[in-house]
Each structure stands twice: as structure tokens, then as C-alpha cells.
């Protein structure tokens, strides 16, 4: 631990598992205070108990990231506890790995709300805090599916491209106010999320996908940039990827 982030405050959505949980551990390991949100209270409580001995304070809000009230309550919890938000990690998301004709309108709505609406809601509530500070970093946990279109993942790709576009536009909108905005775009990652719809647990476990800690390392890198530099976009793929 080098305490690079001592005194800094990070808000992480979808923090109860996978990449969100790995990000919480990585940032706490550098001394950051954490504001965590997800739907599973028992997991958030367990993570709080694990990470607070590292030195930073941890608060959490249980709720659905698709609901505006969750974003409002989480940002309020951050400002009440710490008076600021230095990093927003928009990690909440869902996967759907199906052909278009097998994807229902209900599944489309669920995916758009989980991946895009949640990103908008938390960013919308956090930006005023960062504008007042004249500083902050916002990261969208997108995907390589937000860079390239993949067959059998059209709707998922749509949501992930939206996150990348949102990050690019906000980089231009907010940079003069001292706010950095970027997108992290990993390939497949071994998490509950990777199961989505259309994959099975055994296939994910036996794959050579990235580990959540690989992605958390890049998030930490983006959060520890000097004031003079920013991470706009990072694309990540496993070393096991075929060269064919």
C-alpha cells in the first residue's frame, strides 16, 4: 500500500461483485474512502467489514442503480460522510448475449436501463459536486463491445457504445472545469456478469477471460493520473486471444 489516494473519495456502482468489488479493494488498498452501492446489502456489509481495516472509511447504500432515488441517495451519502466525491466508477451493468431475433423488448429495456440509464443517473447526480470542487474523475466501465460490434450481442453492443459516446462527449463538456472523463473497455471478464444471458457458468470458468483484478488495475491507474493528464479510453484484451 502506498496511500496514493489517501483522503480521496470513490463512489462505485455495482460494487457487490466482480469488477466493482475488485475496484473497491484496489482503491481501498491505496487509502481511498469508499461509497459503495448495489442491490445486495449483505455483500456490501461484508465488503465494508473487509476493507475498513485498511484505513479508509466505507459507507454503502443498498438500491437498484436503475432508479433515480438510488443515485440521489448515494451521492447524498457521499457528501454527508465526506463532503466530496473524487472518483465516480460507473460499473453497474448487465449482459445479454443473444441474437437479435431471440431478444425481447423487455430484455432490451432491462439492458438499456441497467447499462445506460444507471450511468446517466449517477453521472448526472455526481457532476454538480465535481463542478463545485472544480475537480474529479468519472469512469465508464464499458467493454470491447463498445468499440466493435459482435454478432449475437447487438443490443449489448448498443448499450456499451452509448457509454463510450457519453464519456467522449462529457470529456469535452467538463474538461475545462477540471473534471476528467474516460471509458475502460475490457474484453470478457470472469465474473457473474459474464454469464449474462446466453452463456453458462462452466464455460466462463474454463475460459481465458480477464480477471476482475486486471480491470481494477486500470481503474486505479486512471484514478492516480497526475493533474496534467487524463485517461480517455483504455482497451483491454486477454493475452490468450487468438492471432488468427
How many CA within 13 A on the CB side of residue 1?
Answer: 16
What class has domain 9-235? alpha beta
List pLDDT tens digits, range 107-126.
999 999 999 999 999 999 99
List pLDDT tens digits, range 187-243.
989 876 554 455 455 655 556 889 999 999 999 999 999 999 999 999 999 988 775
Q: What was the pLDDT predicted at 214?
A: 96
List pLDDT tens digits, range 49-80.
999 999 999 999 999 999 999 999 999 999 99
- Within the chain, strands assigned E span 9-13, 33-38, 58-62, 87-90, 136-141, 179-186, 233-236
Q: Would you list the domain boundaries of the chain?
A: 9-235
CA gap 172, 56 in Å, rounded? 32
- Residues catalogued as catalytic: 156
CA gap 31, 7 in Å, rounded? 7
Q: What was the pLDDT predicted at 201?
A: 55
- pTM greater than 0.85 (yes/no): yes
CA gap 25, 22 in Å, rounded? 5
Q: What was the pLDDT predicted at 193?
A: 56
Amino acid at each position: 500500500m502506498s496511500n496514493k489516494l489517501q483522503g480521496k473519495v470513490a463512489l462505485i456502482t455495482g460494487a457487490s461483485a466482480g469488477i466493482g468489488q475488485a475496484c473497491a479493494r484496489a482503491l481501498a488498498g491505496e487509502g481511498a474512502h469508499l461509497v459503495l452501492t448495489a442491490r445486495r446489502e449483505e455483500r456490501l456489509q461484508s465488503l465494508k467489514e473487509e476493507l475498513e481495516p485498511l484505513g479508509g472509511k466505507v459507507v454503502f447504500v443498498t438500491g437498484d442503480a436503475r432508479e433515480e432515488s438510488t443515485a440521489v441517495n448515494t451521492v447524498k451519502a457521499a457528501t454527508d460522510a465526506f463532503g466530496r466525491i473524487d472518483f465516480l466508477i460507473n460499473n453497474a451493468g448487465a449482459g445479454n448475449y443473444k441474437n437479435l431475433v431471440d431478444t425481447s423488448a423487455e430484455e432490451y429495456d432491462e439492458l438499456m436501463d441497467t447499462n445506460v440509464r444507471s450511468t446517466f443517473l449517477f453521472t448526472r447526480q455526481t457532476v454538480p459536486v465535481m463542478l463545485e470542487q472544480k475537480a474529479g474523475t468519472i469512469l465508464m466501465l464499458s467493454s470491447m463491445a463498445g468499440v466493435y460490434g459482435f454478432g449475437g450481442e447487438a443490443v449489448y453492443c448498443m448499450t456499451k457504445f452509448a457509454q463510450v459516446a457519453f464519456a467522449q462527449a462529457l470529456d469535452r463538456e467538463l474538461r475545462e472545469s477540471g473534471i476528467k472523463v474516460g471509458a475502460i473497455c475490457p474484453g470478457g471478464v470472469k465474473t457473474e456478469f459474464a454469464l449474462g444471458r446466453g452463456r453458462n457458468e462452466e464455460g466462463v470458468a474454463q475460459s481465458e477471460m480477464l480477471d476482475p483484478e486486471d480491470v481494477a488495475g486500470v481503474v486505479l491507474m486512471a484514478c492516480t493520473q497526475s493533474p496534467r493528464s487524463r485517461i480517455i479510453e483504455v482497451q483491454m484484451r486477454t493475452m490468450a486471444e487468438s492471432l488468427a
